[in-house]
Amino acid sequence: MSKSKIQALSTGQFIDDAEDVVIVGPIGTGKTHLAIALGVEAAKRRTRVAFVRVADLVRQLVEARDERRLHQLHRHYQRAPLLILDELGFVPLDKVEAELLFNLLADRYERCSTVVTSNLAFGEWVQVFGSEKLTTALLDRLAHHAHILTTKGKSYRSQRTETA
Q: CA angle 19-20-25, nearest 5°?
A: 150
Query: Residue 163 above 80 pLDDT?
Result: no
Alpha-carbon distances of 37 from 44, 104, 110, 119, 153, rounded to whole Å:
11, 23, 22, 18, 19
Instruction: Name the pLDDT band for 33 (thresholds 50, 70, 90).
Output: very high
Residue with the bigger pLDDT between 2 and 62: it is: 62
pLDDT of amino acid 18: 97
| Torsion angle, alpha carbons of 100, 104, 107, 108, to 10 | -160
| N- to C-terminal Cα separation, the chain | 28
pTM of the prediction?
Answer: 0.93
Q: How far is CA 140 from the centre of its chain?
A: 14
Instruction: Name the pLDDT band for 10 (thresholds 50, 70, 90).
Output: very high
* Percent over 70 (pLDDT), the chain: 95
Averaged over 101-106, what is the pLDDT? 97
| CATH number for region 18-163 | 3.40.50.300
